[in-house]
Amino acid sequence: MNTEPAFVIVTGMSGAGRSTAAKALEDLGWFVIDNLPPGLLFAMAEEAGKVKLAADKVAAVVDVRSLAFTTDLNAAIEELEGRGVRVRVVFLEASDEGLVRRFENVRRPHPLQGEGRLVDGIARERGILREVRANADLVIDTSSLNVHELRSKIVNFFGGEDRPGLRLNVVSFGFKYGLPVDADLVVDCRFLPNPHWVPDLRPMNGLDAPVRDYVLGQPGAKEFLDAYEEVLQVIAAGYAREGKSYATLAVGCTGGKHRSVAMAEQVAGRLRDRGMEVQVSHRDVGRE
């Protein structure tokens, strides 16, 4: 079964990077239309030949300014899929703090702000988009990403659509800084001893060989990796059957510096050895 997207809808929070994502898709050779009302999605797909030519790369950027956004978008997706068009929804997310900072930097009001405050517009938009986010195939948190990093993520996800199978993003993080909002799966490595309490290892991180060797040498580390590798194979196969092409695995420890980094690298390496396409990032390294 072909699991690759035939038609991509890019949506999400205002200020979270929709325009950057759209430009990245255009640079990859996609046909992209910006700010398209949901009611015109099928007309666009039909005009582009998407109903019959599912191999084409076509994307539409849809924002919250359309009236009755959620209902219209869901109805449009149902119509497209009912006509045989495979649809994938990419949702761009960001924290309230990050969105406020971005709007203040460009000195623009939020599209739903009205006469209220900027945070009021953000809260209203988040409420309207709640169902859309919940049903999205891929959620990308851009809170800590610059435009180049976001573009790199889009290129990684969509730059090789001829390659089948699940694309997995493995990200290490620190629980004390909060869960990654775009995580599909979460692993807790706090069952392993913390290198933070070893004076020689404290300044290092999980990319350094002494920390890696310390973490992997602990009782339970190898057993966990062996077992979880098999679990991920089952999950990946299930995702493929359900048509899910992208997933984010978050690997956490207390500060996101030692254990989670070492274990994330190990998980990614094992999955690559099995032929899976994997990218790795370490969200909280350098944060302390």
Point out the annotated binding site for GTP. 63-66
Q: Could you tell me which residues are annotated as the binding site for ATP?
A: 12-19
Could you tell me which of 178, 169, 123 has the C-alpha nearest to residue 149? 169
Residue numbering of the annotated binding site? 12-19, 63-66
**49 half-sphere exposure, CB direction, 13 A CA radius:** 5
Torsion (CA) 157, 259, 237, 129 in degrees, nearest 10? -50
3-state secondary structure of 203: coil
Q: Report d(CA 262, CA 260) in Å as an integer.
A: 6
Residue 254: half-sphere exposure toward Cβ, Cα within 13 Å: 11
Query: Can you tell me the distance from the alpha carbon of 11 to that of 3, in angstroms, rounded to the nearest whole number?
Result: 21
Read off the tokens for 276. 């899976």
Q: Where are the alpha helices (DSSP H) in 28-163?
A: 41-47, 69-82, 96-106, 118-128, 130-135, 147-158
